[in-house]
Amino acid sequence: MRKIKGKLVLKDGSVFEGDLYGNRAASGEVVFTTGMSGYQETLTDPSFCEQIVVLTYPLVGNYGCNKMFDQSDKCWYQGLVVGELCDEPSNWRSEESLPAFLNRNDIPVLTGIDTRALTRKIRSHGTLKGVIVPSDLPKAEIDALLCAADVHDQVAKVTTPAIYTMGSGKHHVAVIDLGIKRHILNSLAYFDGRLTVFPASAMAEEILAVQPDGIFLSNGPGDPKDLTFVAENLKKLMGKKPIFGICMGHQVMALANGADTFKLPFGHRGINHPVRDIAEQKIVISSQNHGYVVDEASLKKINVEITSVSLNDGTIEGLKYLDHPTFTVQYHPEASPGPSGHEYLFERFTKMMEEF
């Protein structure tokens, strides 16, 4: 990759200078994720659509890349920011270096900056719009890129364009794709699932027409309030089949039931977030990637039970609806990347389908 002098410019005027690799500028919401590993999975996670992502671990890329870790067919970052980028990986499964992977996917990366200082700024002041640009780019062009950093309706960009099927298990699961990761599909199939995957725009009648045993709502990027159509569709699906939702699916289901959501100052992004599972009476470590949460105060008018909460900030991490067979979690239970140990959620969904 060609290296030039570059910088990250934030909406508030802050500038972080370093070395820029890549052939284009990048603009988007600047967020950080705290995982020590799993960079390839996050790069290909549709939930990161159109964001500039700061990896807090100081050295990134030391075990290379392998296509088996891809969570979709493309990279979704607008840009990447790291302290140090390793171009000589050492791992028996490595097929290419991270710089080669980024170059092949046209992802600009800024290195050599103080990522700790940048992370502390985001944590203290909240997420900010920003741009990665060459150091000599005129201010007028930087300002134009900052204006272009406001994005909406990311789910429309990441959802499948057409219905498809996978798996051959006993339980027929209709998957509403809001930006689903590959390993979530694999996990559903592993737990005896036969999947029909629908785009986010699919009508409720279209979903019910395939006669699924259950419905799964996936993860995805952006603001859940952009998905009014999906929330209205869910109202027609509630009670008809057991429903399991994660991440964005968790939030949209709450909106469909009359609850509210709000944006966190800097979100939950990483593979080591502690959660108290009230229902199971245990602590679990979870993989998370979201900037919005369900507002607990808005649940007072809904017949719902809070099943898990974040140990970091007390926000809601799981809900069970008492008027229809639905449960949701805010985190990613499939461990790609992240810790295992959440298989019981897929098992719970399977049991619900068998007993419905």
Residues annotated as part of the active site: 247, 332, 334
Residue 227, CA distances (Å) to 94, 121, 127, 131 in order: 38, 30, 22, 27
Q: Which residues are annotated as a binding site for L-glutamine?
A: 47, 220, 222, 248, 251, 289, 291-292
Check the CA dihedral 214-218-224-225 and report its sign.
negative
Question: In whole angstroms, what is the distance from residue 100 CA to residue 103 CA?
Answer: 5
Q: Which residues are annotated as a binding site?
A: 47, 220, 222, 248, 251, 289, 291-292
Q: Which of 138, 136, 134, 143 is nearest to 6 (CA)?
A: 134
Q: Which of 208, 180, 188, 305 is nearest to 254 (CA)?
A: 305
Q: DSSP string of 263-288?
A: EEEEEEEEEEEEEEETTTTEEEEEEE
Cα 157 to its chain centre, rounded Å, is 14
Q: DSSP string of 184-215?
A: HHHHHHHTTEEEEEEETT--HHHHHTT--SEE
